[in-house]
Structure 1
Amino acid sequence: MRQVIIIGSGPAGFSAAIYAARANLKPLLIASTVEVGGELMNTTDVENFPGFPEGILGPDLMAKLQEQAEKFGTEVLYDDVTELHVDGPVKKVVLGSGAEHEASTIIYATGSAYRKLHIEGEERLSGYGVSWCATCDGFFFREKTIAVVGGGDSAMEEATFLTRFASKVYVIHRKDTLRASKIMQERAFANDKIEFIWNSEVVEVLGGESVKGVQLRSTVDGSLRELEIDGLFIAIGNDPRTHLVHEKLQLTDAGTIWVDGRSSRTSVPGIFAAGDVIDPTYRQAATAAGSGVVAALDAEHFLADLEDASVEEPAAVAAEVIVS
């Protein structure tokens, strides 16, 4: 039986693995067969992760995190978790291959998935003008013309933030009213760099090696037109990957896993959560990495308490025998 099993191979998962391995907990990290490395695998230049002043490619950053985790003794397994058993002192992880692994603790760091438009050119130009994170990529669009898709608070926040860099920001929304809160709407409407394109949906991202424009379809009459832009930011929400823990762990109103304050402790003892799966607000590689560190330390303390309890119990029994 393992001491720690980590589910997830993003910055949170590998940061947890580094700390757990250095604590000699010999962690097993289950990295999936499809989405190894998380969302950073779809990112080109990462310039806001501490320690890389010249920037680093997203896949290269994840490779370095994995190398560091394995250097200290993390075992990485490429398989998909299909079922979790979290009740009781022994936790069980069932994999797609049919294999089962048991552990005293589990760190759940599966991240979140950005909602996508599922249109032509979206995947192909991901990282080459198509982005889901203004904070991550806005810097690369200085004096460029870009568009944001969405009508909620996230879209208004992204659009407003992007005006720090872009010369023009279009907001494309399929209706003629926004879902965003009144204050976020007013902020966007008051910004001279933002122009709204109402009753329109993006049906194709145009460009060869980078984004050159989008094709728009009217939601009123179905007519098509093209809009020239240099970048497209998709802000229609994201979904934390919590499908494995529904009705097993307590969730928040935002759909993320509930944790106790600033800790990683979930509603089930021995189960810890880290990264975007507990974070509906920041969703940055650096914050996810820090969250993974917290989870590893919490798991280490939990295991130490278990060991102390197992030592004290025989001692108490022995004392009873002597007295009797």
Structure 2
Amino acid sequence: MAADSGATVQESKDDGPKIPDKKKTKFDVVIIGAGPSGYTAGIYCSRAGYDTLILSGILPGGQLVNTTEVENYPGFENGIMGPDLMMIEMRKQCQRMGTTIVDDEAVDVDFRRKPLKVLTASEEYEGRAIIIATGANPRKLGLEGEETFGGKGVSYCATCDGPFFRNQELVVVGGGDSAVEEATFLTKFATTVHLVHRRDELRASKVMQDRAQSNEKIKFHWDSAVTDIKGDQKVQEVVLKNLKTNEESKLTVGGLFVAIGHEPNTKLFKNQIDLDEEGYVILKNKTHTNIEGVFAAGDVHDRIYRQAITAAGYGCMAAIDVDKYLTESADKQE
């Protein structure tokens, strides 16, 4: 549904997509973000009887809209395409429950006073409770080939995509715990995993380093960087450059996994709620932030699991916490 300077909605007779009625800007719950956590929170809040708005952003659906087949989300025996899961299944279920979805991007918030406010470029929304579900984006290498082969051999999640690369040689870029963990995980499927790191030693914890260095399937490429990604319909070759000698080499591989960290989408909330040194939302209790009435769900605070199913789980938890908060708030006013 296209954004339209803020809209309330009414059900069509066939229980299909909602249509704009008149401008509405005040809701019980405003959810910022439309990935698995945001949609799940919307389903639960709407089913609980709350007037719920999701601001989906300019590109709704979260990271899964950039993936191809998803095999590890429960309920789909034969898997499902990422965009279909997000833009058809989750979105339509959310709308059927009564959630208002506006495809507009939050550009500012005001959590310093009640009512809590979320602003887009064209509208100001108020909510009795806010759920932050803006997710996180993987850091990229900045190569043209990342865009060309996204979902065609370039991945940012070994747990998600590793099983698609059985009996192939793979490259993992990075030197921290995440990179070493992903490289180790991928040895379950790959014939060889080439771990490429810009330095001459890993930054990962000693236990992770020992585990990787004792794994015969992992080959280390020190002081090196990936400078190009090549292929026809999918990744077939990566070009490495030794940063000390400037010597270039090529690896024939089936996939490239980038594991150089994630960036939570929280710049919007700086100086509004507590964030850690990397920008992740700090939770004070369950899904509560340090501001009363403001909650967070999914990759925006979860630096460990980062899966669609765990994000959905956090969305459920946040919605239940919101229900308790709003119920208790109503009781206090009586």
Give the shorter-chain TM-score range.
over 0.9
1:84-133 Cα distance to aligned partner (Å, 9 max, x none):
00122300111023x11111110000000100001021111111110000
Q: Which has the larger radius of gyration?
A: 1
2:217 maps to 1:193: yes
1:122-164 Cα distance to aligned partner (Å, 9 max, x none):
1111111100000000111111110100011111000000001
2:86 maps to 1:86: no
> Counterparts of 1:144 and 1:110 in 2: how far apart (Å)?
34
> Counterparts of 2:228 and 2:60 in 1: how far apart (Å)?
27
Indicate the SS of the match to 1:123: helix
Matches within 5 A, 1:94-173: 94-97=119-122, 99-173=123-197
> Counterparts of 1:250 and 1:8 in 2: how far apart (Å)?
19
Q: CA RMSD in A?
A: 1.1
- Indicate conservation of the 8 Å contact 1:46/1:58, yes or no: yes
User: Which residue, out of 291, 294, 315, partners 1:268?
Assistant: 291
Matches within 5 A, 1:303-322: 303-311=326-334
Per the alignment, residue 257 of structure 1 pairs with 281
2:296 maps to 1:278: no
| Runs of at least 5 residues in structure 2 that lack an aligned partner in the other structure | 1-25
- Indicate conservation of the 8 Å contact 1:155/1:236, yes or no: yes
User: Which residue, out of 49, 55, 67, partners 2:79?
Assistant: 55
Cα drift, residue 223 of structure 1: 2.6
- Indicate conservation of the 8 Å contact 1:81/1:94, yes or no: yes
Cα drift, residue 79 of structure 1: 1.2
- Between the two proteins, the alignment pairs up a number of residues equal to 308
Per the alignment, residue 233 of structure 1 pairs with 257
Q: Which amino acid aligns with 1:275?
A: G
Per the alignment, residue 13 of structure 1 pairs with 38
- Indicate conservation of the 8 Å contact 1:254/1:280, yes or no: no
TM-score normalised over the length of structure 1: 0.93
| Runs of at least 5 residues in structure 1 that lack an aligned partner in the other structure | 312-324
- Indicate conservation of the 8 Å contact 1:122/1:204, yes or no: no
2:55 maps to 1:67: no
Per the alignment, residue 245 of structure 1 pairs with 269
> Counterparts of 1:127 and 1:296 in 2: how far apart (Å)?
32
- Indicate conservation of the 8 Å contact 1:170/1:196, yes or no: yes
Indicate the SS of the match to 2:235: coil
Cα drift, residue 254 of structure 1: 4.8
TM-score normalised over the length of structure 2: 0.90
Q: Which amino acid aligns with 2:132?
A: Y
- Indicate conservation of the 8 Å contact 1:89/1:270, yes or no: no
Q: Which amino acid aligns with 1:292?
A: G
Q: Which amino acid aligns with 1:132?
A: Y
Q: Which amino acid aligns with 1:46?
A: V
Cα drift, residue 293 of structure 1: 0.6
Q: Which amino acid aligns with 2:54?
A: L
Q: Which amino acid aligns with 1:206?
A: K
User: How much identity, in percent, do the aligned residues show?
Assistant: 46
